[in-house]
Amino acid sequence: MKYMLWSEYGEDSGILDDYEETLIEWKDRIIKQKRKDRIEVLAFDESKGETPDDAKFILWLSVHKDENGELFWKEKTSIKLEYVTPVRNFKND
């Protein structure tokens, strides 16, 4: 599997063999910057002949604020297509 991370503010990880470390770095940095942001994690399987254009969402994270004003990440593994960043045309099962 290959992975790609995108943020609502236009950050692009490029194609990665693993996304865990990059995701941790992005989450920490975004919270420290106090940004209301979103991260989308997409995956595609080259062994099945898939390309980045075939990438599917596997994880969607967004920043929320609790009752004390603290920022935290909320994760979803399935999202409705209308929440997908419109600039990209990736598939969502």
pLDDT digits (tens, 9 = 90+) for 24-55: 999 999 889 988 888 989 999 999 999 888 88
CA dihedral 61, 7, 86, 53 (to 10 degrees): -100
Phi and psi torsions of 60, nearest 5°: -135, 125
- Give the model's pLDDT for residue 79: 61
pLDDT band at 22 (very low <50, low <70, confident <90, very high): very high
Query: CA 68 → CA 16, 29, 72, distances in Å?
Result: 36, 20, 11
What CA–CA distance (Å, rounded) separates 48 from 62?
A: 30
Query: What separation in angstroms does the CA of 10 have from each of 14, 49, 70?
Result: 12, 27, 24
pTM for the complete prediction? 0.75
